[in-house]
């Protein structure tokens, strides 16, 4: 497909990294200096200019474009770019819209302006955090099959009794139908087979239904119930959205925000929450406001460094779930080593949501990838395929298929029934299939074969 990305900030570049290998890509930004910083490996046409200018869009190839993605720093500019693209070309349009003022009007905006998709980074990141606080044992949670299947990541601790256990023994030992689909060990990413032996401190990704995942976590002694209270530091857009979601889940919420005017706004918007005006980096204040008893602590100020230090401090004073918001994605490998709980990258969440939409659209014009997540520090993909027609291996037992190396069939969704596949299981027409692999760019279910 031909895709135009308007806005080459962190989100735009992150998207470009994930799309350029599979699509004809054009990047547009008004800032020439920013364009010069586009990584050399991204093979894309680069145009310096205002993406809302018709002549610039024509130069970018709007007449032949399949999708225009506007992710500049301005909501209004993004909406205008999409509106002009709709009138000038015949493409799908995606706009990043961050201002909460627009959040109640997004359906109206999409319908009247003809925009295919809007994405709010702070809202999407808050939704990720709320899922984690519903299931605090996991580091990350991704969903497939309309929520019937989850891909969860957690760290193996000595008390779980997983050290030295072969993967093939886990289902029977813990009486839970789960599948280990990825292991991170010492910077290495492994797509394991049944003989693979787990070790303490492994970061493990598993696929299961929510019920089976909860059963497995309970069996190894991990907490599976949602938290009862949360202490949030930072009352910005993400803090507001998250607090609103947690309150709807009947979770007690305390917010620390140092800006008095913002505190007054939050008190009006969230009367059920406790809003404290103060410096969230003040250790005495955190302890006074119940850090030691918090079942969840979320650091989401506007400074990454503050959030990291806050989570490191919190780790020493609470057994609760730690979540750290990070804006810059350059040092994710270092953050893994700090062990500061679940790290949320709003910009990465945004690009992942957009990438899923692109995959879904690509599916409508030939590919059969329904959902895609980048997992295991972006070194692997989890893809959901739909089998619409009989292919050369439908009805063939999985044990007889010559699958690619570093590829695992994680789950089969057959008319709403979730199957964790074994060797004698088969693919049938109508199934959706979840595949985990280190091979990038799989387009069709038949691509899983050598």
Q: What CATH number is given to the structural domain containing 311? A: 3.40.50.720
Name the domain boundary from 119, 147, 170: 119
Residues 216, 262: one domain?
A: no
Residues 101, 192: one domain?
A: no
State the residue range of the domain holding 215: 137-220
pLDDT in tens, 225-283: 788 999 999 999 999 999 999 999 899 999 999 999 999 999 999 999 999 999 999 99
Residues 213, 233: one domain?
A: no
Looking at the 3D structure of the chain, how many domains does it have? 4
Residues 165, 207: one domain?
A: yes
pLDDT in tens, 103-117: 667 777 777 777 888
**What letter would DSSP give residue 63?**
G
Q: What is the mean pLDDT of the chain?
A: 85
Q: How many CB atoms lie within 10 A of CB 182?
A: 25
Residues 20, 46: one domain?
A: yes
Residue-level pLDDT at 414: 85
Residues 179, 277: one domain?
A: no
Residues 209, 235: one domain?
A: no
Residue 442 within any structural domain of the chain: yes
Which helix (H) or strand (E) element contains residue 297? strand 296-299
CA angle 255, 256, 259 (to 5 degrees): 120
CATH code of residue 204:
3.30.70.1450
**How far is Cα 214 from Cα 217, in angstroms, rounded to an integer?**
5
The interaxial angle of helices 346-364 and 121-134, nearest 10 deg, is 100
Residue-level pLDDT at 51: 93
Name the domain boundary from 177, 194, 220: 220
3-state helix, strand, coil in the chain (%, to 5): 40, 25, 35
Nearest residue to 207 via CA among 163, 172, 171, 173: 171
Residues 27, 102: one domain?
A: yes
Nearest residue to 324 via CA among 233, 248, 236, 223: 233
Q: Which residues of the chain have pLDDT under 70?
A: 103-104, 138-139, 143-147, 224, 330-333, 336, 359-374, 376-378
Residue-level pLDDT at 365: 42
Residue 390 within any structural domain of the chain: yes
Cα 4–chain centre separation: 22
Residue 126 within any structural domain of the chain: no
Residue-level pLDDT at 276: 96
Residues 80, 172: one domain?
A: no
Q: Which residues pair with 233 in a beta bridge?
A: 256, 299
Q: Put the strands of the sheet holding 321-325 in their side by side order.
A: 274-277, 252-257, 229-233, 296-299, 321-325, 342-344
Residue-level pLDDT at 69: 95
Residue-level pLDDT at 430: 83
Name the domain boundary from 220, 255, 280: 220
Residue 93 within any structural domain of the chain: yes
Residues 50, 108: one domain?
A: yes
Residues 6+ apart with CB under 8 A from 87: none
Residue-level pLDDT at 45: 93
Residue 334 within any structural domain of the chain: no
CB contact at 8 A, 347 and 14: yes
Residue-level pLDDT at 367: 44
Residues 313, 247: one domain?
A: yes
Residues 70, 34: one domain?
A: yes
């Amino acid at each position: 497909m031909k895709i135009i990305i308007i806005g080459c900030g962190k989100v735009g570049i992150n998207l470009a990294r994930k799309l350029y290998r599979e699509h004809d890509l054009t990047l547009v930004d008004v800032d020439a200096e920013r364009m010069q910083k586009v990584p050399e490996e991204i093979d894309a046409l680069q145009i310096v200019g205002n993406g809302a200018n018709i002549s610039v869009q024509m130069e970018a190839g709007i007449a032949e474009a399949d999708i225009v993605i506007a992710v500049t720093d301005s909501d209004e500019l993004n909406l205008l770019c999409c509106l002009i693209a709709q009138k000038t070309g015949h493409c799908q349009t995606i706009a990043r819209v961050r201002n909460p003022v627009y959040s109640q009007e997004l359906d109206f905006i999409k319908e009247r302006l003809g925009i295919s998709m809007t994405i709010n980074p702070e809202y999407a990141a808050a939704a990720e955090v709320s899922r984690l606080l519903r299931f605090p044992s996991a580091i990350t949670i991704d969903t497939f099959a309309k929520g019937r299947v989850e891909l969860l990541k957690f760290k193996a601790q000595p008390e779980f009794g997983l050290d030295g256990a072969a993967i093939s023994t886990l289902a029977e030992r813990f009486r839970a139908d789960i599948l280990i689909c990825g292991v991170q060990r010492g910077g290495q990413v492994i797509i394991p087979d049944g003989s693979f032996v787990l070790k303490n401190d492994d970061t493990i990704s598993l696929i299961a239904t929510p019920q089976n995942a909860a059963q497995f976590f309970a069996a190894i002694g991990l907490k599976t119930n949602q938290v009862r209270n949360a202490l949030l530091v930072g009352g910005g857009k993400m803090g507001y959205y998250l607090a609103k979601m947690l309150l709807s889940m009947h979770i007690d919420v305390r917010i620390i925000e140092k800006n008095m005017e913002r505190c007054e706004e939050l008190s009006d918007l969230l009367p059920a929450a406790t809003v404290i005006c103060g410096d969230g980096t003040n250790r005495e204040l955190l302890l006074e406001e119940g850090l030691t008893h918090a079942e969840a602590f979320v650091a989401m100020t506007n400074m990454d460094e503050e959030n990291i230090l806050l989570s490191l401090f919190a780790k020493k004073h609470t057994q609760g779930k730690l979540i750290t918001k990070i804006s810059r994605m350059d040092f994710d490998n270092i953050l893994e080593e700090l062990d500061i709980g679940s790290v949320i990258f709003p910009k990465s969440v945004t690009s992942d949501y957009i990438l899923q939409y692109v995959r879904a659209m690509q599916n409508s014009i030939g590919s059969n990838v329904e959902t895609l997540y980048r997992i295991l520090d972006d070194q692997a993909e989890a893809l959901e395929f739909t089998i619409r027609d009989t292919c050369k291996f439908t009805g063939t037992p999985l044990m007889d298929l010559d699958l690619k190396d570093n590829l695992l069939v994680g789950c089969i969704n057959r008319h709403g029934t979730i199957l964790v596949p074994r060797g004698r299981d088969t693919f049938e027409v109508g199934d959706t299939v979840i595949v985990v692999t280190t091979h990038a760019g799989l387009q069709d279910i038949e691509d899983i074969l050598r």
